[in-house]
């Protein structure tokens, strides 16, 4: 059996900016994936903001939620469909109401996972 190589990931010295929400992180992941599918190559820390993760970290978090049965494949289909559209489903629209419920539940579960990893910023404390 081949011995696995350990290749450390380079750590950026720049200050990273966590996402404000899991929804923002998800849309960023989908845009990155579309660009990757179109042949783009990414260079770490070359964007306007240094993010605390790679796009694949978002995908891995979603797949962990699916494997642990916190969300279903139906949630993933809704996340992908509206991620590609770059707009969340509108709960006021009759045909999107069921999708909005799935979207909200999936992002709620994803928020918990991404906050624990420092990818999504903690909620802002209310000022007294």
Rg (CA), the chain: 16
Q: Are 44 and 10 in contact (CB under 8 A)?
A: yes
d(CA 46, CA 26): 19
pLDDT at 6: 63
How many residues does this entry show for the chain? Answer: 128
99-to-23, 36, 37, 42, 105 alpha-carbon distances in Å: 15, 26, 25, 32, 10
Mean confidence (pLDDT) of the chain: 86
pLDDT tens for 24-57 read: 999 999 999 999 888 877 665 566 667 888 899 9
**Residue 18 — φ and ψ, nearest 5°?**
-70, 160
pLDDT tens for 50-76 read: 788 889 999 999 999 999 999 999 999
pTM: 0.80
């Amino acid at each position: 059996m081949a011995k696995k190589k350990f290749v450390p990931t380079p750590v950026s010295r720049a200050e990273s900016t966590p996402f404000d929400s899991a929804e923002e992180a998800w849309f960023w992941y989908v845009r990155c994936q579309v660009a990757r599918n179109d042949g783009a190559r990414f260079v770490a820390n070359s964007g306007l903001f240094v993010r605390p993760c790679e796009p694949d970290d978002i995908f891995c978090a979603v797949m962990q939620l699916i494997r642990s049965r916190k969300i279903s494949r139906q949630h993933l289909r809704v996340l992908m469909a509206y991620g590609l559209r770059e707009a969340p489903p509108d709960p006021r629209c009759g045909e999107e109401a069921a999708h909005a419920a799935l979207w909200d539940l999936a992002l709620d579960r994803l928020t918990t996972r991404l906050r624990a990893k420092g990818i999504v910023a903690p909620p802002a404390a209310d000022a007294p």
